[in-house]
A and B are shown apart, each in its own frame.
Chain A
């Protein structure tokens, strides 16, 4: 039973991953594979990714930004299948360029119906997508303080 469930869910994730990867990269192919079809409950899981216009690569051969983007695609693929009620993302988009940050932020918005996001970020693109902004400052050495801005309210005013 466990095997069956895992198999079904894995197939869904794999499909989602292929589509989210293509959307995040604007093309390209990627897939998830079980390293041993006979022992699906214990075997490893391989990721093969091919960014647009490049050869099919092992994960180790990707650049830092590509790696991050692939990982984000995988995260989104999982969230698509099984939305976690909330999700805390600590600077996962730090390695992306500006265009990809905007794409990532837009993608986040798509999930907000099912998942609540708390993102820690330095990127303006992500901040723009946020509904609430919390600023953390350290006016006194070693002590954090909070400042908050709610975007939706402000726009109403």
Chain B
């Protein structure tokens, strides 16, 4: 199966019928954008049952019909046919060629046609199902649709695969079956609903039953009344119908007679019409005949005119020919005369020619003799001429040689001058070179001296540099030791300061209070500090004072008792231990009075403890309280002595720490120092600071030293390097100088060599010049000889040439004479020839004219006979014209008669038509009446049927049964009133459920 052909007509952009033939293989459709290629694909898709106008790139199905352009009207329908070859029976149909056509009209009507018979879209779908062809299949891939195979949802893709797998057939059937199932299911649901509804209505309804009973009674009465009305109405209607039918019968017979009349009239009318048409036909024939005759007559008249014209033409011809003949015979006479004259002239010319020829021959003989003489002499002259030329050639050769020798000499001289110049140049150069050598030697000497000096200088500087380096090392060592000391002292200082800051060595309570003071607690403003803190003293008194103070070192000095109270509270609250306070407002000083001076004067006494220490003046009272009555002695011996003298009334301490208390008790022994005492710490810190200060100074000075030395070192190093560079430069200069000397010497030698060469060349050149001059003089001598010879020969030549010239002149003159004679002869011969040919030509002309004359005669006779013929013809034609005219007139008469006849018949036809019209009117009136009656009958019929139907519907009663029912003796109006009353009563009962009685 394959696609043979597509035929499009009116589809989209193809208004005309177009056939596309396809073969197996690939067919490509190409063209510019918008030319309608895709419409071909759309057409195929459309035929295969595409329902969506959108897929065909339109809005509605009618858009596929050619919609017109500016120059074309829209078409009414579109049709596309696919012709397929089905010889392999792939399509399940018993044809070897299948044509599928779809056609759509603008009205929206659409047909599918398969092999010429209409069919449904479904048939076409089924035909192609599972072949892969079809609007849903994969055989038509639209523009831009290829991607859709991939991009649509994966479920949608199935369709493609199902088509390919060949299961669409089953799937369609499956879908149909499931559709049916759904419908049945719906029906079931509906039936169940109805059953439910009915069940709801079941219930006891006695009231309704009561009502119903009453209703039944009323209804029965109503029925009776209605039946009575019905029977009376029925009888009334029947009578009415009968009457109407009678009338209709009468009318029918009337119409019958009218119809008969009408037919008769119509027959008559047809007869008349036939007659008229016959007459018309006859008239037509006559008119045609008349027309024919007229054209015939015109034809004849034209022919006659034509004949007349040709006769006049022929006559003109005859006249022309006879004129020609006349002039021809005249020309013959003239020409014969000219020919005779020419003949006499020819004879005269011939005699003259004979004479002239003889004279010419004589002259030719003389001329040939003269010519031979001249040629002999010319040979001789030529010989002399060649001699002269040979001599002249020789002279030129010699001259050439002389000029060559001269050129050579001048060349040699120039070379000599050049060589001399060369020598002087070389000499100057040699001198220059020598000067350069001596200069270079001097330079060399200078460089060597400088080199020596520089080397010495460098040695000196190097030594100095080494010394400096050792110095620098020493300075650095010192710097390092200072730095180390600074570091050590600093670390010690740092440790001590930290100890001091944290009040190491004080009791816990004291520490806490002091720490609070340092943290600037406002409650501790009045705390001045521990006793140990506020005292400064020399180190030698340290032990003594410490012992003297004892635990009082840890006492805290405060301004007032209030402050003390706050501090104690704080200690209590925070549970930080205990402390002793010395409020300044409370402590009273102890006085020593005048005894003091006595004691100080004692041997071995150093002084009052209070005066050995230093403190701030505000602590005067406190210090006095603590140390006014303590005496410091040099050693234990002096202390004991003093104690004895003062009767043990003072506390005495020695420098080593022994203590004699008031009353004589003594304390002493070795002192173990756990930590640095409070005093020694403060002192050590200040000492360390002092030391550090001096060490920093030293460090600064050593740093400066080191820097200075390294600077000097650097300077020296730079200088040494400079000197070395200079030394190198000098060495380079030295080598340069020596190279210069060598070069200059070489050059000088070269110059001497070249000098020698040049001198040798000069001597050679001089020799050659001398030889050249000699050769030149010889050549000049021989040239003179040759020139003499040439002069001789030229003289001879001149003589001879004049001789020849005279001979030549004579010859030339005779030659001219001869040629003149020859020209004359030729002229004569020519004349004779021309005359002869003239005569001949004239004879020929005469002959042709004569022939023309005879021909003219013949022509004239021919023309005359033709004229006769034409005249005969004319006579005949005139006769014919006459005949035609007669016939024509006769026909005209017949026509007239026929016209009259026709108008008579037409008059009778008009009359007849008038009567037909009248008859028709009466008939229409009758028919109208009949229609009216029949309408009434149907109306009555309808009314009675309605009555019957309503009776049947309401009471299932027929007319026959009704008649059998009881008759009421009431008038019609009474019956009607009764009915109305009953109706109102029933209405008053309202809704009545008749089933209620049974239920």
B69 nearest CB neighbor, chain A only: A142
Taken together as a complex, chains A and B put the C-alpha atoms of A3 and B215 apart, in Å, by 70
Taken together as a complex, chains A and B put the C-alpha atoms of A119 and B14 apart, in Å, by 19
Instruction: Name the residue in A6, A13, A86, A141 with the highest tally of chain B Cβ atoms < 10 Å from its Cβ.
Output: A86
Q: Mark B144-161, 1 if CB is under 8 A from A, else 0.
A: 111101110111011011
* Contact A121 B28, CB 8 Å, known A10-B161, A143-B13: yes
Q: State how many angstroms separate the Cβ of B949 from the closest Cβ of chain A.
A: 58
Q: State how many angstroms separate the Cβ of A89 from the closest Cβ of chain B.
A: 5
Q: In the complex, are the beta carbons of A120 and B3 less than 8 A apart?
A: no
Q: In the complex, are the beta carbons of B37 and A142 less than 8 A apart?
A: no
**Which of chain B's residues have a CB closer than 8 A to the CB of A45?**
154, 157-158, 161
CB-contact partner of A142 in B2, B13, B29, B171, under 8 A: B13
Q: State how many angstroms separate the Cβ of A54 from the closest Cβ of chain B.
A: 16
Which of B129-137, B331-339, B567-575, B935-943 binds A?
Answer: B129-137
Q: In the complex, are the beta carbons of A47 and B31 less than 8 A apart?
A: no
Q: In the complex, are the beta carbons of A136 and B72 less than 8 A apart?
A: no
**Which of chain A's residues have a CB closer than 8 A to the CB of B38?**
90-91, 120
**Which of chain B's residues have a CB closer than 8 A to the CB of A72?**
146
Taken together as a complex, chains A and B put the C-alpha atoms of A89 and B147 apart, in Å, by 13
A46 nearest CB neighbor, chain B only: B154
Q: In the complex, are the beta carbons of B2 and A86 less than 8 A apart?
A: yes
Q: State how many angstroms separate the Cβ of B152 from the closest Cβ of chain A.
A: 10
A89 nearest CB neighbor, chain B only: B141
Asked if B167 is at the interface of the complex by the 8 Å CB criterion, the answer is: yes
Taken together as a complex, chains A and B put the C-alpha atoms of A91 and B28 apart, in Å, by 10
Q: In the complex, are the beta carbons of A88 and B139 less than 8 A apart?
A: yes
Taken together as a complex, chains A and B put the C-alpha atoms of A60 and B147 apart, in Å, by 10
Q: State how many angstroms separate the Cβ of A4 from the closest Cβ of chain B.
A: 10
Taken together as a complex, chains A and B put the C-alpha atoms of A85 and B140 apart, in Å, by 11
Taken together as a complex, chains A and B put the C-alpha atoms of A102 and B195 apart, in Å, by 73
Asked if B899 is at the interface of the complex by the 8 Å CB criterion, the answer is: no
**Which of chain B's residues have a CB closer than 8 A to the CB of A116?**
2-3, 22-25, 27
Q: In the complex, are the beta carbons of B133 and A137 less than 8 A apart?
A: no
Asked if B35 is at the interface of the complex by the 8 Å CB criterion, the answer is: yes
**Which of chain A's residues have a CB closer than 8 A to the CB of B69?**
140-143
**Which of chain A's residues have a CB closer than 8 A to the CB of B164?**
9, 13, 78, 81-82
Q: State how many angstroms separate the Cβ of B16 from the closest Cβ of chain A.
A: 8
* Contact A86 B3, CB 8 Å, known A78-B138, A119-B26, A131-B27: yes
**Which of chain B's residues have a CB closer than 8 A to the CB of A134?**
20, 27-30
The interface size of chain A toward B, counting residues with CB under 8 Å, comes to 66
* Contact A144 B14, CB 8 Å, known A46-B154, A78-B160, A86-B133: yes
Q: State how many angstroms separate the Cβ of A70 from the closest Cβ of chain B.
A: 6
**Which of chain B's residues have a CB closer than 8 A to the CB of A78?**
132, 138, 160-161, 164
Q: In the complex, are the beta carbons of B162 and A6 less than 8 A apart?
A: yes
Q: State how many angstroms separate the Cβ of A101 from the closest Cβ of chain B.
A: 12
Q: Mark A65-108, 1 if CB is under 8 A from B, else 0.
A: 00110111011001101111111111110000000000000001
Asked if B203 is at the interface of the complex by the 8 Å CB criterion, the answer is: no
Q: State how many angstroms separate the Cβ of B48 from the closest Cβ of chain A.
A: 10
Q: State how many angstroms separate the Cβ of B907 from the closest Cβ of chain A.
A: 61
Taken together as a complex, chains A and B put the C-alpha atoms of A141 and B140 apart, in Å, by 28
* Contact A71 B149, CB 8 Å, known A90-B41, A133-B30: yes
CB-contact partner of A70 in B145, B150, B157, under 8 A: B150
Taken together as a complex, chains A and B put the C-alpha atoms of A150 and B360 apart, in Å, by 94
Taken together as a complex, chains A and B put the C-alpha atoms of A81 and B132 apart, in Å, by 11
Asked if B143 is at the interface of the complex by the 8 Å CB criterion, the answer is: yes
Residues of B41-58 whose CB lies within 8 A of A: 41, 44-45
Residues of B882-941 whose CB lies within 8 A of A: none
**Which of chain A's residues have a CB closer than 8 A to the CB of B141?**
75, 87-90, 92
Q: In the complex, are the beta carbons of B29 and A136 less than 8 A apart?
A: yes
CB-contact partner of B25 in A83, A131, A146, under 8 A: A131
CB-contact partner of B138 in A9, A60, A75, under 8 A: A75
Q: In the complex, are the beta carbons of A44 and B157 less than 8 A apart?
A: yes
Q: In the complex, are the beta carbons of A120 and B161 less than 8 A apart?
A: no
**Which of chain A's residues have a CB closer than 8 A to the CB of B25?**
112, 116-117, 130-132
Q: In the complex, are the beta carbons of B151 and A90 less than 8 A apart?
A: no
Q: In the complex, are the beta carbons of A82 and B132 less than 8 A apart?
A: yes
Q: State how many angstroms separate the Cβ of B6 from the closest Cβ of chain A.
A: 9
Q: Mark A42-74, 1 if CB is under 8 A from B, else 0.
A: 111111000000000001100010011011101
Q: State how many angstroms separate the Cβ of A109 from the closest Cβ of chain B.
A: 7
Asked if B15 is at the interface of the complex by the 8 Å CB criterion, the answer is: yes
Taken together as a complex, chains A and B put the C-alpha atoms of A87 and B3 apart, in Å, by 9
Q: Mark A107-139, 1 if CB is under 8 A from B, else 0.
A: 011001000111111100011011111111110
Q: State how many angstroms separate the Cβ of A100 from the closest Cβ of chain B.
A: 13
Q: State how many angstroms separate the Cβ of A97 from the closest Cβ of chain B.
A: 15
* Contact A71 B138, CB 8 Å, known A60-B151, A133-B28: no
Q: In the complex, are the beta carbons of A109 and B131 less than 8 A apart?
A: no
* Contact A44 B158, CB 8 Å, known A116-B22, A136-B30: yes
Q: In the complex, are the beta carbons of A44 and B13 less than 8 A apart?
A: no
**Which of chain A's residues have a CB closer than 8 A to the CB of B72?**
142-143
**Which of chain A's residues have a CB closer than 8 A to the CB of B13?**
138, 142-144
CB-contact partner of A136 in B35, B146, B153, B157, under 8 A: B35
* Contact A112 B167, CB 8 Å, known A71-B147, A144-B13: no
B38 nearest CB neighbor, chain A only: A90
Taken together as a complex, chains A and B put the C-alpha atoms of A54 and B830 apart, in Å, by 112
Q: State how many angstroms separate the Cβ of A27 from the closest Cβ of chain B.
A: 19
Asked if A5 is at the interface of the complex by the 8 Å CB criterion, the answer is: yes
Q: State how many angstroms separate the Cβ of A31 from the closest Cβ of chain B.
A: 14
**Which of chain B's residues have a CB closer than 8 A to the CB of A129?**
26, 28
Taken together as a complex, chains A and B put the C-alpha atoms of A83 and B27 apart, in Å, by 17
B24 nearest CB neighbor, chain A only: A116
Q: In the complex, are the beta carbons of B70 and A141 less than 8 A apart?
A: yes
Asked if B555 is at the interface of the complex by the 8 Å CB criterion, the answer is: no
**Which of chain A's residues have a CB closer than 8 A to the CB of B101?**
none
**Which of chain B's residues have a CB closer than 8 A to the CB of A88?**
40-41, 44-45, 139-141
Q: In the complex, are the beta carbons of B35 and A144 less than 8 A apart?
A: yes
Taken together as a complex, chains A and B put the C-alpha atoms of A141 and B174 apart, in Å, by 49
B151 nearest CB neighbor, chain A only: A59
**Which of chain B's residues have a CB closer than 8 A to the CB of A121?**
28-30
Taken together as a complex, chains A and B put the C-alpha atoms of A127 and B30 apart, in Å, by 8
B70 nearest CB neighbor, chain A only: A141
CB-contact partner of A118 in B29, B71, B154, under 8 A: B29
Q: In the complex, are the beta carbons of B26 and A130 less than 8 A apart?
A: yes
Asked if A2 is at the interface of the complex by the 8 Å CB criterion, the answer is: yes
Q: Mark B7-22, 1 if CB is under 8 A from A, else 0.
A: 0000001111010111
Residues of B455-480 whose CB lies within 8 A of A: none
Residues of B160-197 whose CB lies within 8 A of A: 160-162, 164-167, 170-171, 174
Taken together as a complex, chains A and B put the C-alpha atoms of A112 and B149 apart, in Å, by 22
**Which of chain B's residues have a CB closer than 8 A to the CB of A133?**
27-30
Instruction: Name the residue in B15, B90, B139, B174 with the highest tally of chain A Cβ atoms < 10 Å from its Cβ.
Output: B139
**Which of chain A's residues have a CB closer than 8 A to the CB of B32?**
137-138
Q: State how many angstroms separate the Cβ of B30 from the closest Cβ of chain A.
A: 6
**Which of chain A's residues have a CB closer than 8 A to the CB of B158?**
42-45
* Contact A85 B29, CB 8 Å, known A91-B143, A140-B71: no
Q: State how many angstroms separate the Cβ of B67 from the closest Cβ of chain A.
A: 8
Q: State how many angstroms separate the Cβ of B132 from the closest Cβ of chain A.
A: 3
Asked if B1 is at the interface of the complex by the 8 Å CB criterion, the answer is: yes
**Which of chain B's residues have a CB closer than 8 A to the CB of A140?**
69, 71
Q: In the complex, are the beta carbons of A112 and B147 less than 8 A apart?
A: no
12 examples of A-B residue contacts, CB within 8 angstroms: A2-B174, A9-B164, A75-B146, A85-B139, A88-B141, A108-B26, A112-B24, A117-B27, A118-B3, A121-B30, A136-B31, A146-B18
Given contacts A112-B26, A119-B27, 5 further A-B contacts (CB under 8 A): A44-B153, A74-B150, A90-B38, A119-B26, A137-B32
The 3 A-B residue pairs with the shortest CB-CB distance in the complex, in nearest-first order: A84-B132, A44-B154, A144-B36
Which residues of B line the A interface, CB within 8 A?
Answer: 1-3, 13-16, 18, 20-32, 34-41, 44-45, 68-72, 84, 90, 131-133, 137-147, 149-151, 153-155, 157-158, 160-162, 164-167, 170-171, 174
